């Protein structure tokens, strides 16, 4: 992803649009303008005039933070491939539908009923079916550094587990 260079404060509106889109930004603060307060790891600023090498260094740092930031949150594509960073695992249809429901509330509890409806839109085959598929899904996503936690009497929660190690290589097909 490219880092967008913005003049501050002249392009304040565009900054908000890019922040909402999750785009990395380097603000070129003009004159005596006060740089904005930001806790967004995808944003940095530098006062102009500035040496080109300083801008290149800030851009490089933002690119690195963008890569780290993107490795945290998993995504599921339309083909049932779950990705986190550069690592991925293919998911069968039922597990893909369960993962979609978990990703919609990433980091929050999803009830057993909601998961059953997501996994089997025409009606769940039985109580144990959900347990079996969640167990299989846990095994598949573990190498991505993801975990499904059971929240007693409430449901399940998808979150990051302990570090997964190197996420630069695809994970072997676990089907």
Q: Where are the domains of the chain?
A: 4-70, 75-160
- For the chain, the average pLDDT equals 86
What local confidence, expressed as pLDDT, does residue 116 receive?
93
Given this model, what pLDDT does residue 71 score? Answer: 59
- Is residue 17's pLDDT more than 70? yes
Mean pLDDT of 119-128: 84
Model pTM score: 0.56
**pLDDT tens by residue, 60-72:** 988 887 765 655 6
Could you please report the per-residue DSSP string of the chain? Answer: -PPEEEEETTTHHHHHHHHHHT--EEEEE-TTPPPPP---TTEEEEESS--HHHHHHHHHHHHHHHHHHHTTS-EE-TTSEEEETTEEEE--HHHHHHHHHHHHTTTSEE-HHHHHHHH-TT--S-HHHHHHHHHHHHHHHGGGTEEEEEETTTEEEEEE-S--S--SSPPPP--
CATH 3.40.47.10 is held by the domain 75-160 = no
- For residue 35, pLDDT beyond 50: yes
């Amino acid at each position: 992803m490219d880092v967008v260079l913005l003049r501050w404060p002249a392009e304040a509106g565009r900054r908000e649009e890019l922040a909402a889109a999750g785009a990395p930004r380097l603000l070129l603060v003009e004159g005596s303008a006060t740089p904005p307060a930001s806790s967004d790891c995808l944003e940095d600023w530098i006062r102009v005039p500035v040496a080109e090498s300083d801008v290149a260094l800030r851009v490089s740092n933002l690119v690195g933070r963008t890569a780290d930031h993107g490795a945290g949150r998993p995504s599921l594509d339309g083909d049932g491939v779950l990705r986190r960073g550069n690592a991925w695992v293919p998911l069968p249809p039922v597990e893909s539908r369960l993962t979609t429901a978990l990703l919609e509330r990433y980091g929050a509890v999803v009830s057993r009923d909601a998961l059953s409806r997501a996994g089997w839109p025409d009606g769940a085959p039985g109580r144990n079916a959900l347990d079996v598929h969640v167990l299989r899904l846990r095994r598949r996503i573990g190498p991505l550094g993801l975990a499904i936690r059971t929240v007693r009497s409430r449901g399940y929660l998808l979150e990051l587990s302990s570090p997964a190690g190197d996420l630069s290589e695809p994970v072997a097909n676990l089907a």
